[in-house]
Amino acid sequence: GNYAFQTQPMGFPGGHGVPPVQNPPFVGGVVWMPIPPSLPNCPPGLEYLTQIDQILIHQEIELLEVLTGFETSNKYEIKNALGQRVYFAAEDTDCLTRNCCGPSRPFTIHIIDNLGHEVITLQRPLRCSSCCCPCCLQELEVQAPPGTTVGYVVQNWHACLPKFTIQDEKKMDILKITGPCIVCGCCEDVNFEVKSLDETVAVGRISKQWTGFVKEAFTDADNFGITFPMDLDVKMKAVMIGACFLIDFMFFEHGSDKKQRTGIWQ
């Protein structure tokens, strides 16, 4: 019930704490979101999430991958609604795993803040995603800070729909995620709705954004948007970020995979 909606002290006018720096820092030519003050009972580095209710995730285009089809490790910019970078994410997998397992590969994704500190770690083991094998479905663990589990994203078996459950560190169910039966992003966004446990109340949304014919056809570099309530517990916001990466790999990662481009759920 109330676990996932714990209002955090806000580090800006109207909230508590010291206001953040007004001029966003420039690091390597990139405008970063101002560093918020530390907050009690908030994992270090997640203070940024107390101030936003929307996140944009942009996957970087790898030229080598476009020209050769050779699968490279993914990198992502995570921005707020103003276009300021909040985090940078990088996949940590070996070359053999990426090119043999494709989008089904196990991975570790390191998410760092503008000070270069790793604040979130996502770990996905090698699992099956087919609805014909309900005993070994997808799962992703979210740690914040690294080494401290704050939640899980667990795939739920369903014959037609992509469905997931967001859990806390004790594997207690907190929220549900439901995607469309036909995961097809041709000329439109694909929305995965985040809902309450009884699935009667919409809590947020994870959207795969349409990026145009050329980019969709020749690259697997995707754009996503995540929305959630401002007062959602920052740990659950971090888990929703993890859910977005899992959804990307499961449905949109392989640009040359015809099955994924037709968007048929299997």
Residues 6+ apart with CB under 8 A from 101: 126
The answer to whether residue 47 scores a pLDDT higher than 90 is: yes
CA distance 179 to 162: 5
Phi, psi of 165 (to 5 degrees): -125, 135
Region of 113 (left: φ > 0; alpha: ψ -120 to 50; beta: rest) is beta
Confidence at residue 164, expressed as pLDDT on a 0 to 100 scale: 96
Residues 221, 227, 233, 234, Cα dihedral to 10°: 40
Confidence of residue 69 (pLDDT cuts 50, 70, 90): low
| Cross-strand partners of 107 | 124
Around Cβ 117, how many Cβ atoms within 10 Å?
12
Average pLDDT estimate for 124-128: 82
Helix or strand (DSSP H, E) at 60: none
Q: Which fold has domain 26-253?
A: Porin (2.40.160)
d(CA 96, CA 62): 18
Distance, CA of 138 to CA of 130 (rounded, Å): 9
Q: Is the per-residue pLDDT at 220 higher than 60?
A: no
Q: How many residues does the chain have?
A: 266
pLDDT at 205 > cutoff 60: yes
The identity of residue 131, as a single letter, is C
Give the tens place of pLDDT for each residue, 160-187: 889 999 999 999 999 999 998 877 656 6
Query: At residue 6, does pLDDT exceed 60?
Result: no
pLDDT band at 10 (very low <50, low <70, confident <90, very high): very low
State the pTM of this model: 0.80
pLDDT, residue 131, reads 55
Integer Cα distance of 225 and 206 in angstroms:
6
C-alpha atoms less than 13 angstroms from C-alpha of 86 in its C-beta half-sphere = 25
